[in-house]
């Protein structure tokens, strides 16, 4: 039985769309989204380790990653409309995986 169209019901539906919106659609869209999330995590772990060995300065590496991620966020809010294209979903999931890997690395290092 469907719920009544109350403000709380609309809030719940909108929240569900925000949380699970990237994982809805065809199998190609869902599997691409999950792969982008995992590839972002993998890249985040490897990029930080590689840049740390190549450059040797952790603050510079983190500053470059933060600037790159902020640029992607600013671009997305200005360009993308309501039906989010697959390319932006993949970009968002790569970004989320990368941020998660960097934060996890910071916790592992204890800083």
pLDDT value, residue 91? 86
pLDDT value, residue 1? 53
What is the chain's pLDDT, residue by residue, as a tens digit (111 residues)?
A: 566 788 888 888 888 877 776 667 788 888 888 899 999 999 888 877 777 777 666 667 777 777 888 888 888 778 777 777 888 888 888 888 988 888 887 787 775
Burial of 5 per CB tally in 10 Å (0-12, 13-18, 19+)? exposed
Distance CA 111, CA 109 (A): 6
Burial of 4 per CB tally in 10 Å (0-12, 13-18, 19+)? exposed
Buried b (16+ CB within 10 A) or exposed e, 9-36: eeeeeeeeeeeeebeeeeeeeeebbeeb
Distance CA 39, CA 95 (A): 10
pLDDT value, residue 58? 67
Instruction: List, in sequence order, the alpha helices (H) in the chain.
Output: 7-20, 27-55, 58-79, 86-109
Distance CA 74, CA 72 (A): 6
pLDDT value, residue 3? 65
Does pTM surpass 0.85?
A: no
């Amino acid at each position: 039985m469907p719920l009544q169209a109350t403000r709380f019901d609309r809030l719940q539906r909108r929240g569900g769309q925000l949380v699970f919106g990237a994982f809805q659609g065809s199998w190609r869209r869902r599997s691409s989204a999950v792969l982008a999330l995992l590839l972002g995590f993998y890249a985040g772990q490897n990029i930080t380790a590689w840049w740390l060995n190549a450059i040797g300065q952790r603050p510079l590496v983190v500053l470059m990653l933060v600037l790159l991620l902020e640029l992607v966020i600013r671009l997305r809010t200005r360009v993308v409309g309501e039906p989010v294209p697959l390319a932006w979903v993949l970009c968002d999931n790569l970004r989320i995986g990368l941020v998660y890997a960097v934060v996890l690395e910071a916790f592992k290092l204890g800083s």
